Chains A and B, each alone.
Chain A
Amino acid sequence: MNNAFILSNYQSKHMNTREKILEAVLKNQPAATALPDITMFKGDSAGLVERYMAIFATIGGAVHLVETLEEVKELLAKNFDSSRRIVTTLPELAGMAELISVAVDPHRYEDTELAIIRGDFCVAENGAVWLTEDLMGQRIIPYICQHLAVIINAEAIVPTLHEAYDRIGTGDFGFSGFIGGPSKTADIEQALVLGAHGPLTMTVFIMK
């Protein structure tokens, strides 16, 4: 049997499955109940920068309040090995880093030591940064690098996920996500280890 036959066999088999499942759902589901109003959930907008910085530090990330990209460059040069591969989406940093190409096979970024990108906004209640595909350069970038650095405008901090999703709306990016710190695991006897499969560290620059 060739592959096309196997596939079409299964397709015709599960066209019936689709109808059967939908029929069973319709028959078994209870009488419709309404959605709740969730507009009353909102966060406190005071002291967002301080609160974000405090939370992000407790998660094991590094956070700096800066005023210029020069400061960002200095801090990065101090903390990371410039002899290794550094990539970025910011043309202003082209002197110290390679510009990410969307056309290249994602596997080619395997040896990325540090990736420097912009974030859309961040969330004070949990330290997470919201990134959309266009800001990542390529989807793999924020996950495959050994160290991640994200630059956020100081006005772009929201109190809770409620304001976050108001801001995101339905959106239309093919991929997007929250990233809330360096990757981690506690699977071995609940001992917290920073650096699982994603980056070992994460640095956020809050730009005034």
Chain B
Amino acid sequence: MKQTKTKDHASLAEAFIKDEERVDWHDGALWFIRQKRDIASKQIPEWEQLREAASTIKSNVISNLHDYLLQFEANLTRNGVTVHWAADADEHNAIVYSILKAKEITQMVKSKSMLTEECQLNEYLEERGIEVINSDLGEYIQQIDKEPPSHIVLPCIHKRKEEIGELFHEHLGTEKGMSDPTQLTRVARKHLRNVFLTRRGALTGVNFAVAETGEYVVCTNEGNADMGAHLSEVQIASMGLEKLIPQKKHLSIFLRLLARSATGQPITIYSSHYKKPRPGQEMHLILVDAGRTRQLGRVDFRDSLKCIKCGSCMNTCPVYRKSGGLSYHNTISGPIGAILAPNLDMKKHADLPYASTLCGSCSNVCPVKINIHGQLYKWRQEIVKEGYAANTKALGMKAMAWTLSSPGNFTSAGNAGRWFMHNIPFVVNNRFNPWYKQRDMPEGPKESFAAWYARNEKKE
């Protein structure tokens, strides 16, 4: 597995940005998807009301989660689905393993599930002799490259087609230099079709789980979830607790918002409603906590659990577009990742809320109206309070607080700064000043504005 764990966002971003041509391409690709979202949303006059309704429904879910979980579990059981509960990644992985082992299944096909990425399920199963193949094309590409997905909807958005062609040449025996997307997709179609036909176990994620009926919806464009599920003897669904919605009719709100927000499509090609097993088939659903109940208890951050994983915040974020999802060292990256991750490991992910200009574009596009940039700001305060802010950040902020705390301090600081810049410029114009690396320092005026104003006001 390629290591991104030891470096922080800033240094990973710096490495990504070194290839300016690639960054410009990555930036442009994601912005284009943002624009498609805009075109789609503007075709719905009631778009803002849909967002408000979705946000309110999810508030109701979060505040009644206990009862909805019980209702969902009862309906699942009535439908013939076996329900499991997992406190953390280890328990989740052990449950999947035990289900497969009981049927002596040694090969499983998986459709997209960010939760199982978070839990590192594939590695866990591989260590125990169970082969897992990711059937979503983007996830498959990342799997054969031994790299995590960089975007929750577009797993290999950071890869050029030539690189993908090279991977297919190495792993699937395609002609060297083949990079046409249609040709590569046809090769993957043939290879993965054989996987679907031969795997007895299939695992899917869950986009929406309906408490009222005990069914769950899986949205794909490729049809890979259905190909795996309907040919399997054992079908497993892994879901985070927060994926619940109260009633089936609420799907109208969320399905109208999801694909338009994610890619600008009016709906994903497949929105499959799974309720009961086929005759002779086993169906399992695993409810996973893995930090969600802790986030639920955080007054300032619990709204992050409303997220429907559309990725629109990533597509619009200027920092994400210019640094790539792998710079965030967390399965869920971008703005939403930056408000979810510190709850999972505040020390490891203390840098993420600072990887933002707080421009607020994420909050503008979020279909469930999470105040993402507000939460980023609050996380910074939490991180400083808990002692995880880098020393220099804390010192810099303290210095700023002193400078701005009184007019006298402000004037002294300004006079001192101007004196140094006029008389000893090399004190700041040197390689120890990070500002100076790619920017010139400003010249510094001859006098402060306050002094100039005082002088000129008297003239009138």
Contacts and interface: CB of A to CB of B under 8 A. Distances in A.
Does a CB–CB distance below 8 Å link A and B in the complex?
A: yes
Contact of A196 (B84, B94, B223, B287): B223
Interface string B51-71: 011001101101111100110
Contacts of A139: 226, 229-230, 278
Contact of B141 (A166, A187, A198): A187
A30 B306 CA distance: 13
A188 B181 contact: yes
B270 A25 contact: no
Contacts, number: 257
Interface residues of B, number: 96
Contacts of B29: 189-190
The CB with the most chain A CB atoms within 10 A, among B60, B95, B222, is that of B222
Interface in A147-192: 160-162, 164-166, 168-191
Contact of A175 (B223, B246, B276): B276
Interface stretch (A15-23, A72-80, A83-91): A15-23
B333 to A, nearest CB: 17
Contact of B53 (A24, A38, A126, A174): A38
Contact of B276 (A140, A174, A181): A174
Q: In the complex, which range does the number of interface residues on chain A fall in?
A: 35 or more
A34 to B, nearest CB: 6
Contacts of B3: none
Interface string B261-280: 00100111111111111100
Contacts of B294: 24, 28
B185 A21 contact: no
B50 A41 contact: yes
Residue among B84, B135, B185 with the most chain A CB within 10 A? B185
Interface of A: 3, 6-7, 10, 13-14, 17-18, 20-22, 24-36, 38, 40-41, 55, 106-107, 110, 123, 125-128, 138-140, 143-144, 160-162, 164-166, 168-191, 193, 195-199
Given A14-B84, A160-B256, A188-B184, 16 more contacts: A24-B294, A31-B63, A38-B252, A41-B46, A41-B253, A127-B267, A161-B267, A173-B275, A175-B275, A175-B276, A179-B270, A185-B137, A193-B182, A196-B189, A196-B224, A198-B223
16 contacts: A14-B91, A17-B91, A21-B287, A25-B293, A29-B62, A29-B63, A36-B52, A143-B223, A160-B252, A177-B272, A177-B273, A178-B270, A185-B222, A187-B155, A189-B164, A197-B223
> Which A-B residue pairs are the 8 nearest by beta carbons?
A198-B223, A28-B297, A174-B276, A126-B266, A196-B222, A187-B138, A191-B181, A24-B293
